[in-house]
A = this chain, B = another copy of it.
Amino acid sequence: MPRNRPYAGLPAREVALIGRLTQQRANVLKALMAVEGFVGAQALHSRMADDGSPVGLTTVYRTLNAFADAGRADVVRDDNGERLFRYRPGPDHRHYLVCTACGLSMPVDSGPVEDWVEKTARTSGFANVRHTVELAGLCPDCTQEQAPAR
């Protein structure tokens, strides 16, 4: 059996996105893909340490940024400015309603917004229009946990 197959188990698509194939990058990608919803670089870093795949924080940042640049991760900023990443399996693009308490992210039907963005871009005269649409609130579970107190 071969010694080093750092990318074993990762989609071939992901492998092509970044330069050299290293154990560290493979571990970062696996960790990112294993997370439901958004994660910060620091949280991912410590989670990997706990899981026995310690990687330098610098490398976590580098890999996540490269992945985001390649369009394979969504990036949002939480309220205190920290950047959160989420793996995006396909080239499709979605928007989410994120719980500000527990981080749960629920995909929403953004068709109407996409249509509006396209129309607005077309009639504005602007070129190369990009959009950011973020919804955040308290999920049903977290809403309940807040209510009981009086």
The segment out of A5-13, A52-60, A66-74, A110-118 that lies at the interface is A110-118
Copies of this protein in the complex:
2
In contact, A99 and B81 (Cβ under 8 angstroms): no
Chain B residues near A113: list those with CB within 8 A: 112-113, 116, 133
In contact, B130 and A126 (Cβ under 8 angstroms): no
Q: How far is the CA of A35 from the CA of B138 in the complex (A)?
A: 35
Query: Which positions 93-131 of chain A face chain B at CB distance < 8 Å?
Result: 97, 99, 106, 108-110, 112-113, 115-117, 120-121, 124-131
**Residue among B83, B133, B137 making CB contact with A133, cutoff 8 Å:** B133
Q: How far is the CA of A128 from the CA of B132 in the complex (A)?
A: 20
Q: Interface residue count for A (Cβ, 8 Å)?
A: 34
In contact, A135 and B143 (Cβ under 8 angstroms): no
In contact, B135 and A134 (Cβ under 8 angstroms): no
In contact, A137 and B126 (Cβ under 8 angstroms): yes
In contact, B120 and A108 (Cβ under 8 angstroms): yes
In contact, A97 and B116 (Cβ under 8 angstroms): no
Kindly list the 6 A-B residue pairs having the minimum CB-CB distance in the complex, ordered from nearest.
A129-B137, A126-B137, A132-B134, A127-B138, A125-B140, A127-B143
Q: A residues near B, CB below 8 A?
A: 77, 81, 83, 97, 99, 106, 108-110, 112-113, 115-117, 120-121, 124-140, 143
Beyond the given pairs A126-B140, A127-B143, A131-B136, 5 more chain A to chain B contacts, judged by CB atoms under 8 angstroms and listed by A's residue number, are A77-B81, A97-B129, A106-B124, A130-B137, A132-B136
